[in-house]
Structure 1
Amino acid sequence: MKKLKLFFFISISLVVFVSCQDDIDDNITNINALADQEEIKDFIWKAMNIFYLYKSDSPDLADNRFDSTQEYISFLSNIDSPINFFYSLLADQDRFSFIVSDFVELEQNLDGISLSNGMAFGLIRFTNTETVFGYVRYVVPGSPADVAGVERGFIFNRIDGVFFTPDTDFNSLLSQASYTIGLAEFQEGNLVTLNQEVSLAKIQLTENPIHEQKIIDVNGQKVGYLMYNNFRTTFNTELNTVFANFSAEGITDLVLDLRYNSGGSIETAKDLSSMITGQFNGEVFAKQIYNENFETENLIFDNEISTGEAISSLNLTRVYVLTTSSSASASELVINALNPYIEVIQIGTTTAGKFEGSVTLYDSPNFTRNNVSLEHTYAIQPLILKTANKVGFTGFFDGLEPDLQQGEIFSNLGVLGDPQETLLNLALKQISPEFERQSSDEKTGYRPSAIIGESQMYSPVFQRMYVSPNSISF
Structure 2
Amino acid sequence: MKLTKALILVFAISFLATSCFEDEDDNQISASSINDFVWKGMNVFYLYKDNIPNLANDRFTSNQEYSDYLNSYSDPKDLFESLVYQSETVDKYSWIVDDYIALEQLFSGVSTSNGMEYKLFLQPNSNTNAIGIVRLVLNNSDAANKGLKRGDVFNAINGTPLTVNNYSSLLASTSYTLNLATYNTNNTPETSDDTVVSKNETIALTKLEYAENPIYTTKIFSVKGENVGYLMYNGFTANYDSQLNAVFGNFKSNNVKHLILDLRYNPGGSVNSAILLSSMITGQFNGEIFSTEAWNSEFQEYFETKEPESLINRFTNRVNGAALNSLNLQKVYILATDASASASELVINALDPYINVVHIGDYTTGKYQASTTLYDSENFTKEGANPNHAYAMQPLIFKSLNKVGYTDYDNGLTPDIELKESYINLGVIGNENEPLLAAALANIEGSISKLEAIKSKSFQTLKPFKDSNSFEPHHNEMYVDKKLPADFIRKSFK
Q: Do these two structures clear the TM 0.5 threshold for a shared fold by scoring above it?
A: yes
Over aligned residues, Cα RMSD in angstroms? 2.9
2:210 aligned partner: 205
In the TM superposition, 1:52-71 aligns within 5 A as 52-71=46-65
Q: Which amino acid aligns with 1:400?
A: L
In the TM superposition, 1:300-449 aligns within 5 A as 300-305=314-319, 307-434=320-447, 437=450, 442-444=455-457, 446-449=459-462
1:154 aligned partner: 152
Report the CA distance shift for 1:459/1:5 in structure 2 as closer, same or farther (over 3 A).
closer
Report the CA distance shift for 1:435/1:374 in structure 2 as closer, same or farther (over 3 A).
same
- Residue pair 1:329, 1:354 contacting (<8 A) in 2 also: yes
**Could you list the per-position Cα deviations for residues 273-300 of structure 1 after superposition, in whole angstroms to 9, with x for gaps in the alignment?**
1111111111111111110121261111
| 1:73 partnered with 2:67 | yes
The alpha carbon displacement at 1:318 in A equals 0.5
In the TM superposition, 1:112-127 aligns within 5 A as 112-125=109-122
Higher relative contact order (Cα pairs below 8 Å, separated by 6+ residues)? 2
Give the secondary-structure state (helix, strand or coil) at the position aligned to 1:239: helix
Question: Could you state the TM-score of these two structures normalised by the residue count of structure 1?
Answer: 0.88
Q: List structure 1 segments (4+ residues) > 6 angstroms apart after TM superposition.
A: 1-6, 8-12, 126-129
In the TM superposition, 1:98-177 aligns within 5 A as 98-125=95-122, 130=127, 132-165=130-163, 167-177=164-174
Cα distance in 2, alignment partners of residues 408 and 386 from structure 1: 29
- Residue pair 1:49, 1:63 contacting (<8 A) in 2 also: yes
Cα distance in 2, alignment partners of residues 200 and 396 from structure 1: 38
* 391-400 or 84-93, which deviates more: 84-93
Give the secondary-structure state (helix, strand or coil) at the position aligned to 1:171: helix
The alpha carbon displacement at 1:310 in A equals 2.5
1:14 aligned partner: 21
- Residue pair 1:51, 1:293 contacting (<8 A) in 2 also: no
Report the CA distance shift for 1:443/1:37 in structure 2 as closer, same or farther (over 3 A).
farther
Give the secondary-structure state (helix, strand or coil) at the position aligned to 1:425: helix
Give the secondary-structure state (helix, strand or coil) at the position aligned to 2:375: coil
Question: Could you state the TM-score of these two structures normalised by the residue count of structure 2?
Answer: 0.85
| 1:96 partnered with 2:93 | yes
- Residue pair 1:106, 1:460 contacting (<8 A) in 2 also: no
- Residue pair 2:18, 2:378 contacting (<8 A) in 1 also: no
1:30 aligned partner: none
The alpha carbon displacement at 1:97 in A equals 0.6
Give the secondary-structure state (helix, strand or coil) at the position aligned to 1:415: coil
Between Structure 1 and Structure 2, the one with more helix by share is 2
**Could you list the per-position Cα deviations for residues 178-221 of structure 1 after superposition, in whole angstroms to 9, with x for gaps in the alignment?**
11222222222524222222221111111111111121112311
Structure 2 unaligned runs (5+)? 1-8, 188-193, 304-310, 487-494
- Residue pair 2:260, 2:335 contacting (<8 A) in 1 also: yes
**Could you list the per-position Cα deviations for residues 82-107 of structure 1 after superposition, in whole angstroms to 9, with x for gaps in the alignment?**
22221121111210111111112111
Report the CA distance shift for 1:423/1:445 in structure 2 as closer, same or farther (over 3 A).
closer
Give the secondary-structure state (helix, strand or coil) at the position aligned to 2:244: helix
In the TM superposition, 1:181-220 aligns within 5 A as 181-187=178-184, 188=186, 190-195=194-199, 196-220=201-225
1:268 aligned partner: 273
Give the secondary-structure state (helix, strand or coil) at the position aligned to 1:193: strand
2:239 aligned partner: 234
**Could you list the per-position Cα deviations for residues 9-51 of structure 1 after superposition, in whole angstroms to 9, with x for gaps in the alignment?**
9978435999xxxxxxxxxxxxxxxxx9811111111111111
